[in-house]
Amino acid sequence: MVILASGSPRRRELLRLIVPDYACIPAKGGETVPEGTAWSEVPEFLARQKALEVAAERPDDLVIGADTVVVLDGEILGKPRDEADAFRMLKSLSGRKHLVLTGVAAAEKGGIRSFTQTTEVEFYPLSDELIRAYVATGEPMDKAGAYGIQGRGCVLVKGIRGDYFNVVGFPLAETARLIGLL
Confidence of residue 12 (pLDDT cuts 50, 70, 90): very high
For the annotated catalytic residues, the residue numbers are: 67
Which residue has better confidence, 9 or 95?
A: 95
- How crowded is residue 47: how many other Cβ atoms within 10 Å of its Cβ? 28
How high is the pLDDT of residue 44?
97
Number of domains in the chain: 1
Residue pLDDT, tens place only, 87-128:
999 999 999 999 999 999 999 999 999 999 999 999 999 999
Residue 43 has pLDDT above 90, yes or no: yes
How high is the pLDDT of residue 29?
81
Q: What is the pTM of this model?
A: 0.94
CATH of the domain at 142: 3.90.950.10
Whether residue 52 contacts residue 87, with contact meaning beta carbons closer than 8 Å, is answered with no
Find the domain containing 25 and state its range. Answer: 2-178
Whether residue 78 contacts residue 31, with contact meaning beta carbons closer than 8 Å, is answered with no
